[in-house]
Structure 1
Amino acid sequence: MSTLSPSSVVSPPAAIPLGEVLPWAIFAGLMLVLAVYFVGAEEGATSIFSGSYVHEFVHDGRHLLGFPCH
Structure 2
Amino acid sequence: MHASATFDSALSPAFEPVSIPVRELLPWAIFGSILLLLAIYFVGVEEGAAAIFNTMYVHEFVHDGRHLLGFPCH
**TM-score normalised to structure 1 length:** 0.81
Residue 24 (str. 1) matches residue 11 (str. 2): no
The structure with the larger Rg is: 2
CA deviation vs aligned residue, 1:27-57 (integer Å, no higher than 9, x gap) = 0000000000000000111100011110000
Number of matched pairs: 67
Pairwise CA distance, 1:12: 5.1
Residue 57 (str. 1) matches residue 67 (str. 2): no
In structure 1, what is the Cα distance between the partners aligned to 2:18 and 2:64? Answer: 42
Moved over 6 A (4+): none
Unaligned ranges ≥5, structure 2: none
**TM-score normalised to structure 2 length:** 0.77
Identity score, percent: 65
Which residue among 42, 46, 59 is the counterpart of 2:46?
A: 42
Unaligned ranges ≥5, structure 1: none
